[in-house]
Copies of this chain bind each other. A is one copy, B any other.
Amino acid sequence: MPSASATSTVRAGSSPGRRGRPGYDQQSVLNIAVEVFNRHGYDATSMGILAENLGISKSAIYHHVPSKEDLLALALEQALGGLESVWDAPESQSGTAEHRLEFVVRSTVQVLTERLPFVTLLLRLRGNTETERAALERRRSFDRKVAELIAEARAEGTVRTDIDPRTVARLLFGTINSIVEWYRPGGALTSEKLADDVVAVLFDGLHTRS
């Protein structure tokens, strides 16, 4: 399973390899910015609100990043990079379609939880700017690959055929993506158990089995 590099550092000072005093570096500004974007919504977050949350002035932000939109682009790159890395793992490329599909579902859940705030931001985009539209296109490309996998599993006979494959794909993404709306790391539910649960519900359903 591809491992997304940790993005837990909040303030620059706590970064292992970093010298110098207080202040922020770009990554630590980004981490807080994404959190604030998710809390208020990207559009509703002004540079003023962001500055308050950072504890610095509006202008100081522009020392670290050229614009609000660049902040968004940086965040989306972290989300998309993580998702796309799912396809680098050999388990996503060989084996039965059923196995590859389950692997991709598990990996996607893993990326969602590891890069939770970044993927959350991605999943809430409306496509208002060119930056957003480009990110949405990369996301659609990811979705298309998963849809192909579903089609293969269907042809293989391991996925039910009484439902339109597009509907199957949509519901699968709905179930997985909705995780960002409620899952919080550090609780009783580990990301591994969550992946187990998602796979169980998606493939076997909520009913008790006879």
Question: Which positions in A face B, CB cutoff 8 Å?
Answer: 39-41, 43-44, 124, 126, 128, 157-164, 167-168, 170-179, 181-183, 189, 194, 197-198, 200-209
Report chain B residues within 8 Å CB of A206.
159-160, 168, 172, 202-203
Q: Which residues on the B side are within 8 Å of A198 (C-beta)? A: 171
Residues of B within 8 A of A128 (CB): 40-41, 44
Chain B residue, CB-CB nearest to A173: B178
Q: Report Cα–Cα, A103/B177, bound state, in Å.
A: 25
For A201, list chain B residues within 8 Å (CB): 163, 168, 171, 202, 205
**Other contacts beyond A40-B126, A167-B194: 19, CB < 8 A:** A41-B41, A43-B43, A43-B44, A44-B126, A158-B208, A160-B206, A160-B207, A160-B209, A163-B197, A164-B189, A170-B178, A170-B183, A171-B175, A171-B201, A174-B179, A174-B181, A177-B178, A203-B205, A203-B207
**A170, A181, A198: which has the most chain B beta carbons within 10 Å?**
A170
Distance in Å from the Cβ of A202 to the closest Cβ of chain B?
6
Interface pair A126/B39, CB less than 8 Å apart:
yes
| Contact A189:B167 (CB < 8 A) given known A126-B41, A205-B204 | yes
Q: Which residue of B lies closest to A41 (CB)?
A: B126
- The docked-state distance in angstroms from the alpha carbon of A160 to that of B207 is 6
Kindly state the separation between the CA atoms of A41 and B167 in the bound complex, as whole angstroms. Answer: 25
Tell me how far the C-beta of A51 lies from the nearest C-beta in chain B, rounded to whole angstroms.
Answer: 18
